[in-house]
Amino acid sequence: MNRRTDEQKGRGLTDHVFVCTNDRDSEYACCRDAHGPEVEAAIKEWLRERNAFWSTVSVSSASCLGLCSEEGTAVTIQPRDEWYDEVTPADVPDLLEAEFGPDAEELPGEQ
C-alpha cells in the first residue's frame, strides 16, 4: 500500500465528479440501464472540449449513490456536496456549466 495524498494534492485537485454506473439484476432501477456510462462519457467529453480534462477536476464511475431512477443516472460533485439524479447525457452541459462555468473557468486554478 502506498499513501499518495501529497502527490494528489500537489496536482491541485479541487473537485471530483462521481457518476453512478451501478448494474444490478433486480426489479429496481439501476444507473447502468439509465445511461450511467453515457453520462460519464459526456462529462469527460465536456471537460475535454474545454481543455479541462486533466485539470483540477477528476471524474470517476461509482457504485450505487442511492438516487436510483429509470429516468437517468445519479451524479455527485465533491467536496461541493452537490447531488443530482435523473441525469441524462443531454443534461450534462447545463449541469457542468452551472457548476464550473460555461468554459470551466470557475474551476479553481483554471484559466
pTM of the model: 0.88
What's the start-to-end Cα distance of the chain, in Å?
35
Read off the pLDDT band of 34 (50, 70, 90). very high
Ordered structural domains, the chain, with CATH = 13-100 (3.40.30.10)
Which pLDDT score is estimated for 109?
58
Q: What whole-number distance in Å separates Cα of residue 68 and Cα of residue 33?
A: 10
> What is the Cα–Cα distance from 41 to 92, expressed in whole angstroms?
10
Q: Is pLDDT above 70 for 111?
A: no
Q: What is the pLDDT of residue 74?
A: 97
> For residue range 73-96, what is the model confidence (pLDDT) as tens digits?
999 999 999 999 999 999 999 999
Instruction: Concatenate the DSSP letters of all residues of 44-109 into one string.
Output: HHHHHHTT-SSSSEEEEEES--S---SS-EEEEEETTTEEEEEE-GGGHHHHHHHHH-TTSTTSTT
